[in-house]
Amino acid sequence: MTTKYTEDHEWVRTEGDLLVVGITDYAQEQLGEVVFVELPDIDRNLDQREEAAVIESVKAAGEIKSPVGGTVVEVNETLNDNPEKINEDPAGDGWVYKIKPTDSNEFEVLMDEAAYNALVESLS
């Protein structure tokens, strides 16, 4: 299982031939208490960096841009009734959707954890 990161504070983790997408702990801290998540439609085709989902918090709304292009194959329905899962466990139960990528190279060029942590440190 490999996890990569984007400059927009999404994480992407391999799960077999699928990729699981969510937002980082840093992103959920910046948003504050999440109150609503607009999930993407299953079977939706996304281009890399296309808006895939919207997260609303008490402070702001933010979008999740798809880290890779592909087809949405599953969404985290739990977030419909429990959007706070994103705050409680952003890298676990707070995942947002799973995508079948069209180009594995898009995943390979994303940031590793060390590069992402350096980015976050540069923001503080």
Full set of structural domains in the chain with CATH: 3-108 (2.40.50.100)
pLDDT confidence band for 24 (50 / 70 / 90): very high
Contact 79, 73 (CB under 8 A): no
Summarize pLDDT for 40-62 with one digit per residue, the tens.
999 999 999 999 999 999 998 99
Amino acid at 119: L
- pLDDT of 124 higher than 90: no
Rounded to whole angstroms, the Cα distance separating 82 from 92 reads 14
The pLDDT, as a whole number, for residue 1 is 86
Q: What is this structure's pTM? A: 0.95
Query: What's phi and psi for 122, nearest 5 deg?
Result: -70, -20
pLDDT at 61: 92
Mean pLDDT of 1-20: 96
Q: Are 56 and 92 in contact (CB under 8 A)?
A: no
pLDDT digits (tens, 9 = 90+) for 67-122: 999 999 999 999 999 999 999 999 999 999 999 999 989 999 999 999 999 999 99
